[in-house]
Amino acid sequence: MDLYNKYRGRTFASLYVTSDFIPVAQEIIDRPIGKREDTGPTLPHCMIFHSSFPGLGKTTCGRIIASELNPDLSDDEREAIFTGRDSILVEEINGANFRKIDDARNLDEKVRELGSSMFGYR
């Protein structure tokens, strides 16, 4: 296993704070999904982590969010998220490899399939 996956943080509390997002991340995850005027802010339907600098925790934050939003995952599914193995919940993309219209269409199709599947993933 790669060292960066072996020692990747598994919770927001275990991360070194590199941005304003990390201290409030757990609060964001605990919000309800959807629009509810009476309950205040809700979980965003999409998050994009961007920086021109490597090693700030963008990938780790995304993986922690996928894990935290799905508490019923098996240990193997959770480990797949954190070690970068194929997982139905995490799709890592970057601008260098995903630049074509077909790439965006394929990603959109995967999201639609996941949303209409029989699984209760968030």
Extended strands (E) in the chain: none
What pTM was computed for the model?
A: 0.72
User: At residue 14, what is the residue type?
Assistant: S
Q: Give 35-47 pLDDT, tens digit per residue.
A: 556 666 677 777 8
Average pLDDT over residues 92-116: 79
Could you give the CA distance from residue 122 to residue 114 in angstroms, rounded to a whole number? 9
pLDDT at 118 over 50: no
pLDDT at 103 over 80: yes
Residue 119, pLDDT score = 53
Which of 27-36, 41-50, 75-84 has the highest mean predicted lDDT (pLDDT)?
A: 75-84
Q: Whole-number mean pLDDT of the chain?
A: 79
